Amino acid sequence: MSAWIEVGHFAALAALVLTVVQLVAPLAGIGLGRPVWIRVGRQAAFGVLLLLTVACAGVMASFLNHDFSVGYVAGHASRELPIFYLATALWGGHEGSLLLWVWLLSLFAAVAAWRHWSTHPLSMPWVLAILGATVLGFLLLVLFLSSPFERLFPPPADGRDLNPLLQDPGMVFHPPFLYLGYVGFAVPYAFAMAALITGQTGGEWILATRRWTLFAWAMLTIGIVFGAYWAYYELGWGGYWAWDPVENASFMPWLTATAFFHSVMVQERRGLFRTWNLFLIITTFALSLLGTFLVRSGVLSSVHAFATDPGRGVFILVFMTVILLFSFGLLTLRADRLKGEGQGRLENPLCRESAFLFNNLFLVVGALTVLLGTLFPLAVETLTDSKVSVGPPYFNQVFIPIMLGMLLLMGVGPILPWRRTPAGTLRRRFLIPGLVALAGLGGGWILGIGHPYGLAALALCLLVLSTHLDDLWQGTRARMRRDGAGALSALGRLVRRDKRRYGGLLTHLGLLVMVAGFIGSGLFQEERDLILQPGESTRIGEWRLTFTAMGSAARHNWVADEALVRAERGSLVLELRPQKRVYNTGRSQPTTEAAIHTTWLEDLYVVIGDPVGETGRAFRIYRNPLVAWVWWGSGIMGLGVLLALFQGRRLSRTRAVVA
């Protein structure tokens, strides 16, 4: 029974040896002029994937077999844990998550070796070696400093169980999506490095990895929003984003990746920003690594706890340093090749490329803001005796203006022409959207939105919406005239012609929906803490809530106190059942299960607290306007990326020729 873990462990060790082959063989192939060695490196990449799959299967099988002689299994499962969570507890803790990370990396390395083999023969050896080196680094960490394969003797009779907060579908889906995002950036990074090494400093690496970048970005977006949604319904504090270091860690690479795939368009079109794009992809990958390490090393819970396990800390610091020195060192060495090939300069404040420049500025300052707020407390604690925390007010104060600036750019950027904007175009394209935005400002004021940020956001959202719809309409109309087609089929043809552009615009609209959610739930949330006796009612918004009685509920691994709350609005009557759960095994901590009723305009969110007096009960009730728009918006963004992913490479090539 416990043979599984040993098979897995052995496979992981064998994979370690094979990654060295994947790293060395292609380089030897180039050095000795023996292409067959490069082929060996490719086969090694496939072998590593196979072996790491066995390693993951070994850990998973140990969970399914309740093999508590495995330390990791004993720490994150119990006999009562439902099979659904048993199978996915692999990524319920540090060690297993890192194994999942390195497995995904080996998967992507193998896919890259398979798909790009014949199309990118020059870069391939370097891509294999760089991805091999990254897998090697992570495998060393997994095997020797953070091993999920370690055995306990004597084995305990039962495990400590999975933390109840993690016994949720959110845990099953959130980490893998996040890691798909983090790891996905490794491939564009490897191609960028390969381009620098081989001296092909044009835009080939960007075209080659366009789909990888989009895919990674989409996964990261879904992962982040999934995490936010999970926090929203599971943690019971009525919000979804707390600027917690763990959240920030995933947000930083998202910001720089967003900057990256906007600024690559300037390189494709005008040949500008070459060094900058390389800088951005390196930074994105480095921040992905930083994110993994911050969350998975324990450094966040305490610098001191981290320092008690110096092996892991030192390894991680050395690994990060090596990658940063290698990447930025290479960038500096090759800086001469990157210069002088650009087609002209950026001359004009009002053109598409300038809009991209400002977009990048805002996103990178945003990433710096988050980095400062996340790492500063760690630095203070390491260097001095005092401890400090940076609260949400800092992030909100900085991010709301940044978001408004981004909205403004999003409103004007996509319809500004490249190079320069003639005054006539400006008037023609912005007169109506500008008026709509002003009308929104006035309308919002009349409707009683007093908050200046709320008003500004409303006006800017309307600006974005009207410029985007106008752009779509202009394109459709031109096509209707030219082809004599109906509106719908013209629209369909328009979108099919340039899926990348319209995918991008759809993503913008998705973000717009999310922004509406941020503003609604951020500025207009209502919260109430109160005590209710059975039979008593309270009001929040248009809802009337009555605490009917206390009940109880149970499943095979938990019992709960459950309040029955009747919610009425007009003729609509609902029964809400917020709970306080206690899981049977090991950990006696109660967990809060909020009762949430979602409508398209608002969420009603009810949490119960401790008993008060004989029969009373503490309640916390929230009315969260538009919060569901955050989740829907992210779905629309996902669809936009999907559309853009279907764009073949043909268009980019013809465009490059035209430009």
Partner 1 sequence: MTILHNKRLLLILTLLVVVGALLALVFTSFTDALVYFHTPTEIQAASSRLDGKKIRIGGMVQAGSLHKTPDTLQVAFLVTDGSSQLPVTYEGMLPDLFREGQGVVVEGTWRHGQPFQAATVLAKHSEDYMPVEMTEAGIEKARQSILKTLQ
What backbone phi and psi angles, to 5 degrees, belong to 576?
Answer: -105, 145
CA proximity to 179, closest of 278, 110, 96, 64:
96
Question: Where does residue 260 rank: exposed (0-12), middle (13-18), buried (19+ CB within 10 A)?
Answer: buried
Question: Closest distance between partner 1 and the C-beta of residue 372, in Å?
Answer: 7
362 touches partner 1 by CB under 8 A: yes
Which residue, 434 or 609, is less far from partner 1 as judged by CB? 609
How far is residue 516's CA from residue 628's CA, in Å, rounded to a whole number? Answer: 10
Binding flag, residue 174, partner 1 (CB under 8 A): no
Give the span between the Cα atoms of 442 and 454, in whole angstroms: 12
Per CB under 8 A, the list member of 30, 398, 469, 559 interacting with partner 1 is 398
Contact between 301 and partner 1 (CB under 8 A)? Answer: yes
397 binds partner 1 (CB under 8 A): yes
373 touching partner 1, by CB under 8 A: yes
Nearest distance, CB of residue 33 and partner 1, angstroms:
48
Sole binder of partner 1 in the list 526, 529, 542, 575 (CB under 8 A): 529
Q: Which is nearer to partner 1, 368 or 574 (CB)?
A: 368
591 scored as a contact of partner 1 (CB under 8 A):
yes
Q: Lay out the site mask for partner 1 across 532-571 (x = CB under 8 A, - = otherwise).
A: ----------------------------------------
**Interaction between residue 347 and partner 1 (CB under 8 A):** yes
Return the closest-CA partner of residue 39 out of 103, 106, 104, 114: 114
Cβ proximity to partner 1: between 27 and 531 the closer is: 531
Does 361 help bind partner 1 (rule: CB under 8 A)?
Answer: yes
Q: Which amino acid is at 130?
A: I
For the four alpha carbons of 381, 287, 453 and 633, in that order, the dihedral sign comes to: negative
In whole angstroms, what is the distance from residue 533 CA to residue 452 CA? Answer: 40
Nearer to partner 1, 470 or 527 (CB): 527
Any alpha helices (H) in 185-273, and if so which ranges? 186-198, 204-208, 210-234, 245-270
* Nearest CB to partner 1, comparing residues 380 and 642: 380
Return the residue of 199, 311, 349, 442 that touches partner 1, per CB under 8 A.
Answer: 349
Q: Which is nearer to partner 1, 436 or 593 (CB)?
A: 593
Q: Do you know the residue count of the chain?
A: 659
Q: Taking the complex as a whole, how short is the minimal distance between the CB of residue 371 and partner 1, in angstroms? A: 11
Residue for token pair 């999975």: 162
Q: 355 vs 513, which CB is nearer to partner 1?
A: 355
DSSP run (H or E) holding 380: helix 352-383
The contacts of residue 244 (CB under 8 Å, 6+ apart) are: none
| Separation CA 473–CA 40 (nearest Å) | 54
Interaction between residue 324 and partner 1 (CB under 8 A)? no
| Residue closer to partner 1, measured from CB, 100 or 112 | 100
Q: How far is the CB of 393 from partner 1 (least distance, A)?
A: 5
Q: Looking at beta carbons only, is 50 or 426 nearer to partner 1?
A: 426
Residue 145: exposed, middle, or buried by beta-carbon count in 10 A (0-12, 13-18, 19+)? middle
Nearer to partner 1, 336 or 385 (CB): 385
* Identified binder of partner 1 from the candidate list 587, 597, 598, 656, rule CB under 8 A: 587
Binding mask 75-104 for partner 1 (x = CB under 8 A): ------------------x-----------
Place of tokens 């090494």: 197
Q: Going by C-beta distance under 8 Å and a sequence separation of 6 or more, which residues neighbour residue 300? A: 245, 246, 294, 378
290 CB-side CA count, 13 A? 23
Q: Return d(Cα 208, Cα 211) in angstroms, integer.
A: 8
Judged by CB under 8 A, the number of residues near partner 1 is 56
Restricting to residues 613-632, which ones interact with partner 1 according to CB under 8 A?
Answer: 613, 616, 618, 620
Q: What is the 3-state secondary structure (H, E, C) of 515-558?
A: HHHHHHHHHCCEEEEEEECCCCEEEECCEEEEEEEEEEEEECCE
Per-residue contact flags (x/-) with partner 1 for residues 479 to 518, judged by CB under 8 A: ----------------------------------------
Q: What is the 3-state secondary structure (H, E, C) of 136-203?
A: HHHHHHHHHHCCCCCECCCCCCCCCCCCHHHCCHHHHHHHHHHHHHHHHCHHHHHHHHHHHHHCCCCC
> Per CB under 8 A, does 345 bind partner 1?
yes
Contact stretch for partner 1 (CB under 8 A) within 100-108, 115-123, 274-282, 374-382: 374-382
Q: What DSSP state is assigned to residue 417?
A: P
Least CB distance to partner 1 at residue 163 (A): 5
Asked if 590 touches partner 1 (CB under 8 A), the answer is yes
Q: Which two tokens stand for residue 465?
A: 């919406």
Nearer to partner 1, 43 or 584 (CB): 584
In the stretch 125-154, what mask flags binding to partner 1 with x, by CB under 8 A?
------------------------------
Please tell me whether residue 377 binds partner 1 under the rule CB under 8 A: yes
How far is Cα of residue 33 from the mean position of the Cα atoms in its chain?
Answer: 41
155 binds partner 1 (CB under 8 A): no
Spatial separation of the C-alpha atoms in residues 481 and 487, rounded to whole Å: 10
Instruction: With CA atoms as reference, report the closest residue to 95 among 205, 12, 3, 208.
Output: 12
Interface stretch with partner 1, choices 62-70, 105-113, 194-202, 527-535 (CB under 8 A): 527-535
- For residues 594-613, which are near partner 1 according to CB under 8 A? 607, 609-610, 612-613
Among 368, 469, 472, 523, binds partner 1 (CB under 8 A): 368
User: Could you tell me the sign of the dihedral formed by the alpha carbons of 442, 448, 450, 451, in that order?
Assistant: negative
Q: Which residues bind partner 1 (CB under 8 A)?
A: 93, 163, 165, 300-302, 304-305, 345-349, 354, 357-358, 361-362, 365, 368-369, 372-373, 376-377, 381, 386-391, 393-394, 397-398, 401-402, 405, 529-531, 580, 587, 589-592, 607, 609-610, 612-613, 616, 618, 620
